[in-house]
Structure 1
């Protein structure tokens, strides 16, 4: 056997080899399978430490001592633990330190304690190998040996007498063993010499002395309790004497977090896989996973909406009536071999009633109505959109004849490009196949609605799919009146309300806008305490939607109000006295939004085109505000409030020259582009600019002549606006043509000023509306319409 010094850097692997040879030898030697002390993992502490009791364990002796060989006494999860090469590296370092200090029992224990966690068999070999008999040991090291022997069932290798002598020798050198324990060890040596107990009994008695915290007393001769100072029996060998164990968790915080993260990831993967499998197999709804799914929705029967509830789109309703007749009696249309369109596409601006028309078809035909939106087909899973399209058509096929309505179909039916995601292409391809593929879906009418028909894929619009297109336009003046009458029937109107005037003044309003107008008026009337909705409230709601709420708290000085009044009076006078101009509906100097005042003109009906006379008259009206400021205040005091008027007049003049052929110099030609000079030569552009200036200058001269001729009427109209703030079209015409003022109380007696003008400071104001430096006060530079 080599000397300990020769094994300094090689005994770790050598000891494992020696232990393997000895284990093979022991297997060939008959021995009784006797187990000698409980296999319990406890924290090793000095024998005089008090054991804190946390758990009581009572077992039968027949099963208490069963143990199996294991390379480690602790189990590790997949995401915790230290790699083996790091463990071996640490053991090598501890072994080097232990071999370098054979007389240091603490260094020996540090190595043995770490070694016992991973290689308990090597602990037994190192403690029992004669090569290491001169190494110091202490009580915790001996207890580690006994526990390692229990794990590996190699307790027969232990020479108890030699181990006791070795322990006493080390403790004598350090003088650290209590006298009571030393006496107990010496008594144990005498007992073994006299009685000669068996090897399990020797080991058992030694363990009882070194570990008094888990033993009531060491066992005596003859298998009877061996009494010492305290007396008693071994705990754990009888239910009357349970074994108390204190558990210590040595897992670090980092390892615990990694373990928790691993479990969460595994759980998510399992749940996701299970959900996808159930959804693919169609079992999701059975187990309650898709009970709240929104991609397949069927309207409750019967649908209450009828064609009578849809107003302002008479032509669209007429085109859809044949769909209703087909659903009611399909044989009437198929008796000659004809087929009705599979798909119906409703297009038009937002708020025109496309969804309402689809509901009306279902209500008139009294058939099942399935509805969804394009965005509901797409989610995080690739291929789920195509699956949901199939499910939607399968559900409708079971209840055919039926209607499938897909709102905002452009979300899934957009033009396909090479760079598009494959999932979007799959959903559209599935929709194309369901509409007109290998299998025919007879009895199913698909209605799609979109605001962007130009963005749809060409394959979706071809005959056989969405081959019937119905445009739902904005309502005309007659349609707006019908819609207003429908909403008015659900509320209470005053007798003075004229829906014809309201319909004429809401050009460009959709059905949704008209509903909003009536709703705003109802709220305003309720707040004001009125018993019915009157015309004033309806006008207020219309102006609020078009231009914003009134700025009643705006600070307006007399000078600002006076300039605004003359500006708006100029527009109103030119509009009243110019042939071809639209009739005036209202003139006001009440500020709204970015405007300090406005003059509203209403056409007799919806205008699809304008004559040359009407365009020239419109330009004259636009120039009226600028000319009025020059005539009243002088050229030096003209403000920038007419900027929007000049812009509109210039735009009309440029369109007359480049789009409508109203210029002899340029000719009857069309020039594209926003400015009408696209692809035009330099000479042509110069001619266009000259003609535009000629038209605007002529409008300016006509407005100047008119306001100069009727200056008295202009001043009377401006003064009346300062007093009443708002005048109707009839009141404006009576003032200009008859000189008659309104027969109602004056509203503003402060010369048109509004708000707390004291914040501006009296020292900075003068009669003409300028400060000391000559610049305009706030409000003079704002647009007036």
Structure 2
């Protein structure tokens, strides 16, 4: 009996000591085995990638589920809180808070509450300067909201949208703040970037919540700043990312009526907006907010200087003409820089020279006082800028000279500032030629004094401006006898013969201008030396000082000129060494 039991233990599968091993073979199972050889690395990478994709999918599904649970809890909490408030204080107890069952955390629209803001933050139309026409358009909207019967008695309808367009810094957001301060109706606002988030559908949900809150308090105003963030042109392959824009289109003019809600939007890029958004019925009015003209700049400067101490003799009209092309934000920054400089110097008031210094800082950069320059470089720059100034004073059609300086700022070693008599919306042929002649003045002055081989590369920007102006005259303005009244938009579409003719005419115009400037400065070579010497002594000359130098008058000596500061910074030559005078020193000795 014992022998039979022992024999049974030795049989496979009869006990733990003798397990049964099964080996499966077949073509189907062989495919699942890890390949050997060079394909083993690819098999490992593929399996790891599949594992990562599975984990990512599981994480995404889990996060979406947690988000839905959290938003549902937040919605129920907000609904319960709103019901408690309504039961204790009434339905209208909140002066502007918006609670909607459809709006979860971060979805509630922002409402402008004037009573909760400090007095300095409240703006009105009196604070808006330099854009009278744009302000009048929005004043009409505010008047419509305050007295709708005045307009509706003749069948007029409330405009649905006002689109503010213009360059950055012209006051579009300030106009919206003025509307909010004077409208007398609820004012909701959002930025275009606040609608977009990682998950698709959040933006359209916030848009629905915004208009749902606005409809409850109609008539009201909804302001969307930087609307180009959500209102760009739609493409057929990105419809899933344009749900916010589609929701905005439906809310402004869709199947459901949207009475009493005016949408005011602002953008710097109106050309990028979708055509369906700009059409009448959505944005009925497109109000351009341009750069201020000379009258507008004078008003803006007066507004920003009204609460600051100003020294006597400050010419605000000259400053308004000098800041051509500045926006309201640029002018605000200019006055602020001047005020900071006055505080740094310990002055009691802002003077004209402080504003002039701030103007150079904003336009060209900080003064490079630590720059070490040789006397030869200083004199070459002085003659270069003197050439520009003399040509600008002598050529008819050139803008008046404001000042000339050899103080380096930013990437410039010196400059001549010209101030227009008034805003130039278009310029004539004489003014174009004058700009070319003035640009040539610096290079020609260097060539007359130092020789052709000593002309520096500082004239690169001057030549670029002169060449661009010459090509503009010939290609866009038709101011050429050979080519005639021809407007050329794209030079690539022209024939080779026409291109060659354009190049010939541009080159001839520049050579002729250079010859005129050379003849002019040759006649005024003595005045050129005088202005250059005065620049070396005073480093900056105003228009009045330049005219005094040309009249033969002597200027008051400077306390410490720029050349002397550079001499102090430069290493002294060794004893016994002789320093040969340069060509500019010899030219000054000839005087």
TM-score over 0.5 for the alignment? yes
Residue in 2 aligned with 1:719? 533
Tell me, in whole angstroms, the C-alpha distance in 2 between the residues paired with 1:396 and 1:569: 63
Matches within 5 A, 1:187-586: 271-278=66-73, 293=106, 296-302=109-115, 304-420=122-238, 422=240, 424-586=241-403
Deviation at 1:363, TM superposition (A): 1.5
- Following superposition, the deviation at residue 598 of structure 1 comes to 0.5
Kindly tell me: are residues 390 and 282 of structure 1, through their superposed partners in 2, closer, same or farther at Cα, counting changes over 3 Å?
farther
SS in 2 for 1:518: helix
Cα pair 2:473 2:480 within 8 Å, conserved: yes
Q: Deviations over 1:663-696 (max 9, x none)?
A: 11111111113xxx34222222222112111211
Q: Distance in 2 between matches of 1:332 and 1:319?
A: 16
Instruction: Tell me whether 1:96 sits opposite 2:17 in the alignment.
Output: yes
**Residue number in structure 2 paired with 1:669:** 486
Q: CA deviation at 1:416?
A: 0.8
- DSSP 3-state at the match of 2:571: helix
In the alignment, structure 1 residue 691 sits paired with structure 2 residue 505: yes
Task: Give the 3 Å change call, closer, same or farther, for CA 589–362 of structure 1 in structure 2.
Answer: same
Residue in 2 that maps onto 1:596 = 413
SS of structure 2 residue aligned to 1:758: coil
Count of aligned pairs between the two proteins: 521
Cα root mean square deviation, aligned: 2.9
Q: Report SS of the residue matched to 2:343.
A: helix
Q: CA offsets, 1:711-767, max 9 Å, x none?
A: 11111100000000001111112222x122333535328568456222999989753
Question: TM (normalized to structure 1)?
Answer: 0.63
CA contact (8 A) 2:204 2:244 kept: yes
SS at match of 1:585: strand
| Aligned mate of 1:757, from 565, 570, 582 | 570
Partners of 1:293 and 1:329 lie apart in 2 by 35
Distance 1:287 1:419, change over 3 A: farther
Structure 1 outlier segments of 4+, above 6 Å: 263-267, 287-292, 759-765
**1:749–1:625 Cα change, 3 Å:** closer
State the match for 1:778 in structure 2: none
Residues 471, 506 of structure 2: 8 Å contact kept = yes
1:745 aligned residue (558, 561, 564): 558
After TM superposition, give the deviation of residue 710 of structure 1 in Å: 1.2
How far residue 295 of structure 1 moved from its aligned partner, in angstroms, is 5.7
Larger Rg computed on CA atoms: 1
Cα deviation digits, residues 506-527 of structure 1 (max 9, x gap): 1111111111111111111111
Q: What displacement does 1:336 show? A: 2.4
CA distances 1:599-658 after superposition (whole Å, capped 9, x unpaired): 000101110111111111111111111111111111222212111111111111111111
2 CA distance for matches of 1:563 and 1:752? Answer: 17
Quickly say closer, same or farther: Cα 1:478–1:524, change in 2 above 3 A: same
Q: How far, CA to CA, are the matches of 1:647 and 1:295 in structure 2?
A: 54
Runs of at least 5 residues in structure 2 that lack an aligned partner in the other structure: 21-55, 83-100, 585-591
Instruction: Spell out, residue by residue over 1:224-276, the C-alpha distance to the aligned partner (whole angstroms, 9 max, x if none).
Output: xxxxxxxxxxxxxxxxxxxxxxxxxxxxxxxxxxxxx9x99998565323024
Residues 1:679 and 2:474 aligned together: no
1:527-586 per-position Cα deviation (integer Å, ceiling 9, x unaligned): 111111111111111111111000000001111111111111111111111111110001
- Name the TM-score, length of structure 2 as normaliser: 0.82
Q: 1:209 matched to which residue of 2?
A: none
Q: Distance in 1 between matches of 2:299 and 2:385?
A: 33
The reply on whether 1:648 has 2:460 as its aligned counterpart is: no
Q: CA deviation at 1:768?
A: 2.1
Structure 1 residues 359-368 or 286-295, which shifts more? 286-295
**How far did 1:477 drift?**
1.2
Report if aligned partners of 2:107, 2:209 keep a CA contact under 8 Å in 1: no
Q: Does 1:10 align with 2:13?
A: yes
Distance in structure 1 (CA, Å) of the matches to 2:285 and 2:489:
33
Are the structure 2 counterparts of residues 741 and 399 from structure 1 closer, same or farther at C-alpha, using a change threshold of 3 Å?
farther
CA contact (8 A) 2:188 2:221 kept: yes
Q: What is the DSSP-based 3-state SS (H/G/I as helix, E as strand, rest coil) of the residue aligned with 2:17?
A: helix
Quick one: structure 1 residues 266 and 452, their matched pair in 2 at CA, closer, same or farther if it must change by over 3 Å? Answer: closer
Contact 2:539-2:562 at 8 Å conserved across structures: no
- DSSP-derived class of the 1:599 partner: strand
Inter-CA distance 293–266: structure 2 relative to 1 (3 Å threshold)? closer
- 1 CA distance for matches of 2:63 and 2:205? 23
Cα offsets for 1:93-122 (capped at 9, x unmatched) = xx33899xxxxxxxxxxxxxxxxxxxxxxx
* Partners of 2:62 and 2:238 in 1: CA distance: 33
Quickly say closer, same or farther: Cα 1:721–1:273, change in 2 above 3 A. same
Structure 1 pair 267/463, CA: closer, same or farther in 2 (3 Å)? closer
Deviations 1:107-144, CA, capped at 9 Å, x for gaps: xxxxxxxxxxxxxxxxxxxxxxxxxxxxxxxxxxxxxx
Aligned to 2:434: 617
Distance in 2, matches of 1:758 and 1:294, equals 67
Write the mapping of 1:80-91 to structure 2, written as runs, cut at 5 A. none
The whole-number CA distance in structure 2 between the counterparts of 1:401 and 1:759 is: 79
